[in-house]
Amino acid sequence: MLTIAFVVAAYLLGSISFAVVTSKAFGIADPRTYGSGNPGATNVLRSGKKAAAALTLFGDAAKGWLAVFLAMHFYPEASLFIALVALAVFLGHVFPVFLKFQGGKGVATALGILLALNGWMGLAVLATWLLMAVVFRYSSLSALVAAIAAPIYAMLLQLRIELVIATAIMSLLLLWRHKSNIQNLMSGKESKIGSKAK
C-alpha cells in the first residue's frame, strides 16, 4: 500500500503545472491562452518574462527529480518501483488532474527524472538539447533529438532494464506530444526559441 501511495503522490506532484503557477505569480497571461498553448517553459518565454520561464523550467524539472530521488533513496534496489514513480510523475505533468488532463509536453520534467536516475545520462541529454538549440534555435527539434538519444544513453550506461524501458516510454510519449511541432518543422512554420507570442 505504501508503494502505491508513493506512485499516486508522484503523479499528483507531476500534476502541478509550474507554468500556470508561475504565470499567476508574475501576473502574466495563462500560457494556455497564447503561443503554442502549451503550459511549459518555452511558451512562457514567449510572454517576454524570462524569469517566469526560468522558474517554470526549474520547477518542472525539480518535481521530476524530487519524485525519483525520494524513490531511489527509500527503495534503492526496487528498480520496477523507481521506474513506476518516474513514469507517474512524468504522466502527471503530461496529463495533470488539476488541469483536466491537458498538460505540458514533459521535456523539463523528463530531464529532472533522467538527472535523478543517472546524473551522466541527464547531463548527456541536456548537452544534446543545448547543442541542437544553439545550432538550430528550435526548442521542439532539440527536444525530439534529445528524446531519441535518451534511451540510447540509458543502454550505453547500462542502467537496469526497468529504467531503460521507463526512459524509452517517456521518449515515445515526448515524440507523440510533439507531433504538431513535427508537422510545423516540416512545413517551416515552427517558432524559434525566444520568439514573441502572437
Read out DSSP for 88-145? HHHHHHHS-GGGTT-----HHHHHHHHHHH-HHHHHHHHHHHHHHHHHH--HHHHHHH
Residue 35 has a pLDDT of 83
CA atoms within 13 A on the CB side of 105: 25
- Give the three-class secondary structure for 15: coil
Q: Buried b vs exposed e over 133-150: b needs ≥16 C-beta within 10 Å?
A: beebebbbbbbbbbbebb
d(CA 71, CA 53): 28
Residue 79 has a pLDDT of 96
Residue 198 has a pLDDT of 54
52 close to 23: Cβ distance less than 8 angstroms: yes
Cα dist. 121→127, 178, 182, 192 in Å? 10, 22, 25, 26
123 close to 46: Cβ distance less than 8 angstroms: no
pLDDT tens-digit readout, 28-43? 999 999 988 889 998 8
% residues pLDDT > 90 (the chain): 86
d(CA 109, CA 106): 5
Does residue 187 have a pLDDT over 90? Answer: yes
pLDDT tens-digit readout, 77-128? 999 999 999 999 999 999 999 999 999 999 999 999 999 999 999 999 999 9
Q: What angle do CA 91, 186, 132 make, to 5 degrees?
A: 65
Q: Is 25 exposed, middle or buried (0-12, 13-18, 19+ CB in 10 A)?
A: exposed
pLDDT tens-digit readout, 89-99? 999 999 999 99
Residue 169 has a pLDDT of 98
* Domain map (residue ranges) of the chain: 2-187
d(CA 109, CA 94): 9
Residue 2 has a pLDDT of 82
- Give the three-class secondary structure for 185: helix
The pTM of this model reads 0.94
